[in-house]
Structure 1
Amino acid sequence: MHRQFHPDVAFGVHPDLGIAAAVADDRPFLDEVLRNHHFLYSQDLGIYLLPGDTPYNTAVRTVTSATREFQDSGLSVAADPRIMLPPPVPTPDGVPVRETVPGQSLTALTSELHELRRSADVADLLDQILDEHHGTVSDLEEFIDTAAAWCDRLESPNGHELGQRLRTIAHHVAFLGDQLADAQLDLSVMADLTPDGASLLAEVPLPARYDVLPVTRAARARAAVASSPHRQADAVPSPKAPRAPQMTPPGTSHAR
C-alpha cells in the first residue's frame, strides 16, 4: 500500500511564469517565509511566484534557502527537479542551442573526492570537470569569452582593452584545462590504491599554494606571454630588451 505524501510547501516550475510555490493551507508562517524570500502571491492563480526577471542562480539559492527554513521548522517540502535546469545560452540564428543540464557543483565533487580510494576514480571526477560540453573548465572559458564580448559592445577604448584582457584570461583557463587533462590521464593509468590505514583526507593538510614545482612555474610563465587565440599575436607587446650601454670608440674623447 502506498501512502500519499502531502507536503506543506511545494516548489515547481510554471511554464510561463517561472519558479512557483504552493502551500497546503493559509498558515501565516508559510506566507511569511515565502515573502521574506521575495515570492509574491498571485490571487488569480492561488500560488506564489518569484519575479520573472529573477536570475537562475538567484532563484535556485532562494528555493534552497526557503526549503531549509521550512525544514528547520519541521515542515515537509517537495521540489520539482526541473528547478535545477539552467536556461539555455542564447545563440545566433542557425546555431544549435546547447542542451541544458543540471549545474555541476565543485563542492559536491570535492566531497566525493574524500571518499575515493582508487586513482582511476579520481580520474573519473576530473573527467567530469573537463567534459567538453558540460565541464566546469569549458563553462568558465565560455563565460569569460562572453564577458569579453560584452565589453566589446561598449565601443570604447577601455571596453576593448578589458575585452582583450578577458580573452587572455580565457586562454589561460584553456591552458589550465590542458594541464588538468594531462594529470587526469596520468591518474587513469596509475594502479595505486589508498591503503586501508591511511589518514582521512580531511585530516591531511593541504599543500601550500606557493609551493609550486619549477616546471609548473615555467609553464605559467610561458602562458603569461603566449598570445591569445582570439586575437593576433602581434597584439601582445614583446618585452623590451635592456639597452646596451654606449661605448666610446677608441681614440676619441668628448669635450664638455
Structure 2
Amino acid sequence: MKLQLEPDVAFGVHPEFGVVAAVSDDHPVLDEVLRKHHFRHNSTLDLYTLADDTPHNTAVRAVARASREFQDVGLSVAADPRIMLPPPIPTSDGVAARQALPGQSLTALTGELHELRRSADVADVLDQILDEHHGVVGDLEEFIDTAAAWCDRLGTANGRELGQHLRTIAHHVAFLGDQLVTAQLDLAVMPDVTPEDAPALADVPLLPRYELPSVTHTARARAALASSPNRPTTQSASPDDAARAPAAPSSPRRTR
C-alpha cells in the first residue's frame, strides 16, 4: 500500500478569511469542484476562500460536499477539525459568550440506538440530547427564543404577534424537554436488556404518528401534572393583546 503524505486538497481555518482550501496542483477538477461549492481563488494567498458573509453551517456543508466529490474521483482530502467549531453566539455587553463546541448530531445519536441493548445505555444517549449547555432540546429552545427577539425588532404589530407565537412554541419545547427528562430517568433505573433473539431495531415497524401507544393511568396522571419549573404554562395572547404588548426580552436558556 502506497501512503500519500500530501493530500490533493486541504481545508483549514484562516484567522482572517475563515474556511479556506489549498490544492497541491492546478488540476482542473480541483478548481471546478471548489468553484461549484462557492470557493473562489485568492491569487494573493494562493488559497480558495468563501465569501465573507458565508454562514458557518453553509461553510461546513460546502467542505463536506466538496470533500465527497473529491473522494469519489480518487483524490485525497485533509480537513482541520476546527472547521466544525461554530462561532460564538453574539451577546450583550457584560454577558459571557457561550463556549463554541460542535453540536451533537441527532442523526448520529439515532444511529447509536441501533447498537444498544441496555436501557441504561439508551438513557445515556438521551442525556446527550438533554444536556443543559449543548443538548439539542436546549439549543432548539434558544433558537426559537432568538427568532422571537428578531421579530420584536421589526417594531410592528405583526412582528410582536409572531414573536409571542414563537415564545409559545418555545414553552412547548421546554415542556417536551421535561417529558424527555422523565423518560430518561425511567430508562436509567430500568434493569431491562434487549433479548439476544430480538429483531434488529431497523426491522421493527414504527407506529404511525397518529396512533398513540397505550399508557398506564399513573403515566397519564404524571404527564397531566408535569410542568416546567422555569417555564410555567401561559395562555396565548389574542392578536390584539399581542400587538399592544411591549416586546418581551428573550427568555434565558432553561436549566434542569
1:57 is matched with which residue? 57
3-state SS, counterpart of residue 95 of structure 2 = coil
1:145 is matched with which residue? 145
Identical positions, percent: 68
Shift of 1:236: 3.7
Cα distance 1:217–1:29, how it changes in 2: closer, same or farther (>3 A)?
A: farther
Shift of 1:222: 8.7
Cα distance 1:206–1:47, how it changes in 2: closer, same or farther (>3 A)?
A: same
* Bigger-Rg structure (1/2): 1
3-state SS, counterpart of residue 78 of structure 2 = strand
1:27 is matched with which residue? 27
1:77 is matched with which residue? 77
- Unaligned residue ranges in structure 1 (runs of 5+): 238-256
- The answer to whether the 8 Å contact 2:179/2:223 transfers is no
Q: C-alpha separation between the residues in 1 aligned to 2:4 and 2:34?
A: 25
- Residue 186, structure 1, aligned to residue 186, structure 2: yes
Shift of 1:52: 1.2
Q: TM-score, normalised by structure 2?
A: 0.84
- The answer to whether the 8 Å contact 1:167/1:230 transfers is no
Shift of 1:105: 0.8
- The answer to whether the 8 Å contact 2:168/2:236 transfers is no
Q: C-alpha separation between the residues in 1 aligned to 2:235 and 2:137?
A: 27
| Letter in structure 1 aligned against 2:133 | H
Q: C-alpha separation between the residues in 2 aligned to 1:57 and 1:97?
A: 19
Shift of 1:192: 0.4
3-state SS, counterpart of residue 160 of structure 1 = helix
3-state SS, counterpart of residue 175 of structure 2 = helix
Q: C-alpha separation between the residues in 2 aligned to 1:170 and 1:217?
A: 23
Cα distance 1:31–1:4, how it changes in 2: closer, same or farther (>3 A)?
A: closer
Q: How does 1:5-154 map to 2 (within 5 A)?
A: 5-154=5-154
Cα distance 1:46–1:205, how it changes in 2: closer, same or farther (>3 A)?
A: same
Q: C-alpha separation between the residues in 2 aligned to 1:222 and 1:161?
A: 29
- The answer to whether the 8 Å contact 2:40/2:49 transfers is yes
| Letter in structure 2 aligned against 1:162 | L
Shift of 1:221: 8.7
Shift of 1:229: 4.5
Q: C-alpha separation between the residues in 1 aligned to 2:133 and 2:184?
A: 17
Q: TM-score, normalised by structure 1?
A: 0.84
- The answer to whether the 8 Å contact 1:8/1:76 transfers is yes
- Unaligned residue ranges in structure 2 (runs of 5+): 239-256
Runs of 4+ with >4 A deviation = 213-223, 228-231
Q: C-alpha separation between the residues in 2 aligned to 1:16 and 1:134?
A: 27
| Letter in structure 2 aligned against 1:89 | I
3-state SS, counterpart of residue 53 of structure 1 = coil
1:207 is matched with which residue? 207
- The answer to whether the 8 Å contact 1:130/1:137 transfers is yes
Higher RCO structure, 1 or 2 (CA under 8 Å, sep 6+): 2
- The answer to whether the 8 Å contact 1:88/1:98 transfers is yes
| Letter in structure 2 aligned against 1:79 | A
Q: C-alpha separation between the residues in 2 aligned to 1:222 and 1:235?
A: 19
